[in-house]
Amino acid sequence: MYLWLIVGLSAGAGALIAIQGPINAELSRVVQHPITAAAISASITAVGLITITILMRTPMPLADRLFAAPWYILVGGGVIGIYGVFALLAFTPILGATAFIGSLVAGMMIASLFVDHFGFIGMDVHPINLWRLLGVVLLAGGVFLIRKF
């Protein structure tokens, strides 16, 4: 039961991301630049997360622990987030919401195969096999069909 709840919540997050594309694309149209729209969107996200952190009284890490972390852990997520929001804003109007999200998920699946296979950044190892590879190929084929028709 718990696993299905997590799958359902994950699907809900995916649904919201699909809706976020057209919303942010419209914001980009209103402010007349995708970078400005991305900055506004990311700023609202940051303020929201800081507010939630304060309200939940989440403990802050000690500075020495934070500065001892590898640079890519501190910077990577933010840089990836910047590109993700920009791509959402810039490419959703060109590809359409379905093809963009399909492409996004296909890219996630391809990268995830390697993350799982090699146990990247502390993840458990789940080797690539024929069925996992076939699933990703079918997903990528679906993106092609969505965009073509």
What pLDDT, in 10s, does the model give residues 94-134? 988 888 888 888 888 889 999 999 999 889 999 999 999 99
Distance CA 121, CA 60 (A): 22
Q: What is the pLDDT of residue 48?
A: 94
Length of the chain: 149
Number of domains, the chain: 1
120: in domain: yes
5: in domain: no
Which amino acid, one-letter code, is at 3? Answer: L
Longest dimension (CA), the chain: 54
Residue 124, SS3 per DSSP: coil
pLDDT in tens, 32-79: 998 899 899 989 999 999 999 999 998 887 888 888 888 888 888 888
6: in domain: no
11: in domain: no
2: in domain: no
Model pTM? 0.72
Segment 5-31 shows an average pLDDT of 88
Domain interval for residue 51:
17-148
10: in domain: no
Sequence-ordered alpha helix ranges (H) in 32-70: 34-55, 63-68
Q: What is the pLDDT of residue 146?
A: 81
